[in-house]
Structure 1
Amino acid sequence: MNNAYPVLFVSHGAPTFAIDPGIAGARLAELGRELPRPTAIVVISPHWMTRGGVRIGASAAPKTIHDFGGFADELYRLQYPAAGSPELAGRIQQLLADAGWQAETDAQRGLDHGAWVPLLHLMPAADVPVVQVSLPWPLLPENAFKLGEALRPLREAGVLLLASGSLTHNLYEFRGHHGAPAEYVTRFAAWTAEALAEHDLPSLFDYRRLAPAAERAHPSDEHLIPLFVALGAAGEDYRLRILEGGVAYGMLAMDSYLFSSADTPESQAA
């Protein structure tokens, strides 16, 4: 994996992250300036889940999808006009098929907010081609890791694999808690950071049983599953960099994680 491009798990939080970047947005902007320019970006987000296999966005000009409701009008005017790459979509389809995944391209699919909201901060010029890959569902952490493994060769071509999710995601509490971070949020974030730092994949795979307040932090799995895709793409010998993002609305931990290979030069690993 010499010179392989790093992998990023990003907590995209609520759609308002697009216009209220806070600490997390500043960290992503700094990282975007540090990283070498990728040849393309491949995004997995929990806002495109598909049954019966994986789908790959193959539009040459993917639309910006505003897949949310009840927010400020300003959010619906935002656009992320990055080009797509039908050629890269075809390569991804082949990589997944070779690894035993059922995969099809979709020339109509655009970029959902799990993709374009963090990219507004990370790559604001929208001048790097973006291809979104669906999250097949249902998906266990171990199988999400295998999906990431199938995508790992893209790193050798300078592709940024961006797994977009949320470190904690209990939207039942979104409207009701706007003060100090909830105690369970900080405990869950600390446990995850420690497990990642120790490369403790068995515990991470079994997080729902082992992590503190896992059921409250994630009433359902879909927003943490992209982390396991990132881990699969990173490989077990990764180097970890934590981008501390604070906590939004008292319940959305906004930390992100950059994974680079142990043999990746420092300049490449940011």
Structure 2
Amino acid sequence: MVKPLFLAHGSPMMAIEEDNYTEFLNNLGKKLNPKAIVIFTAHWDSETLTISSSDSTYETVYDFYGFPDELYNVKYEAQGSSTVAAKVEEKLSHEGIKVKKDLNRGLDHGAWTLLKHLYPEANIPVVQVSIDSKLSIEEQIKIGSALKTLGDEDILVIGSGNTVHNLNLVDFEAVSSDSWAEEFDDWLINRLKENDFNSLYNYRDQAPNADLAVLSPEHFVPLFIALGSSSLLIPRVIFREYELGNLSRLCLEF
């Protein structure tokens, strides 16, 4: 059995950097040996949940610009799994969640920057799934809940995003983390540990600095898909750090 994870994917530069976070990811990958990975990425936002359903090797998608040439030379050539994709489709459809298949899309940086450090040999099948950031937190949890039994089959569910993600406020000269970002994460962690779903559903009104931390929801909602896919709903903070002053690297196991 493997437990679902919410992992921060941060800047694309993470793919070619070595620091505390990439070391953590590398060690985490050594501890976990899933049969397959199902990853919900903040960088694939669609009105209908879409499942990568090909057995082919993924292309590496560089969905960013203005970075060093070295980053654009990185390849993460994981294979898909139509079998696991069909399993995901069946479970979501059974709960009345509309889905469709995609046979062509590559892995975006919300997926491959993490997976490159977790499983550098790209030897575990990956199924990439889109999010719909316009859905409520309650609906995001429902999506995850449809996939609860995947962990029992040693299929690792990952929500890839960031709890605090406001690129307008990042500070490239920062040497410490911003208190407003820490306060938001503190509130979130406490509400999760208390299973205070009513507060989580209404985080916009109740969380401190929510308007700064979650400028738009696409990086935030993958956390709730991971939460919903847990059989225990007991969160554990497995990493916490801040990049560029306030870009959260909070990671959770559920």
Same fold (TM over 0.5): yes
| Residue in 1 that maps onto 2:15 | 18
Could you tell me how far 1:44 is from its partner in structure 2? 0.2
In 1, distance between residues paired with 2:235 and 2:225? 15
In 2, distance between residues paired with 1:177 and 1:220? 24
In 2, distance between residues paired with 1:175 and 1:76? 24
Alignment of 1:224-235 (within 5 A): 224-235=220-231
Query: CA separation of 1:139/1:64 partners in 2, compared to 1, >3 Å: closer, same or farther?
Result: same
Partner deviation per Cα, 1:190-226 (whole Å, 9 max, x = no partner): 1112222222222222211111101101111111100
Residues 166 and 223 of structure 1 are in contact (CA less than 8 Å); yes or no, is this contact kept in structure 2? yes
Q: TM-score, normalised by structure 1?
A: 0.89
In 2, distance between residues paired with 1:20 and 1:197? 32
Residues 99 and 150 of structure 1 are in contact (CA less than 8 Å); yes or no, is this contact kept in structure 2? yes
1:125 and 2:125 matched: no
| Residue in 1 that maps onto 2:244 | 249
In 1, distance between residues paired with 2:37 and 2:138? 23
RMSD over aligned Cα atoms: 1.5
In 2, distance between residues paired with 1:59 and 1:109? 9
Could you tell me how far 1:74 is from its partner in structure 2? 1.1
Partner deviation per Cα, 1:81-104 (whole Å, 9 max, x = no partner): 111101211221111111111111
Aligned length: 253
| Residue in 2 that maps onto 1:203 | 199
Partner deviation per Cα, 1:161-180 (whole Å, 9 max, x = no partner): 01001020001123565332
1:174 and 2:170 matched: yes
Residues 51 and 101 of structure 2 are in contact (CA less than 8 Å); yes or no, is this contact kept in structure 1? yes
Could you tell me how far 1:240 is from its partner in structure 2? 2.7
In 2, distance between residues paired with 1:123 and 1:241? 22
In 2, distance between residues paired with 1:71 and 1:175? 17
Could you tell me how far 1:59 is from its partner in structure 2? 2.3
Q: TM-score, normalised by structure 2?
A: 0.94
* Structure 1: runs of 5 or more not aligned: 260-270
* Structure 2: runs of 5 or more not aligned: none
| Residue in 2 that maps onto 1:8 | 5
| Residue in 2 that maps onto 1:70 | 66
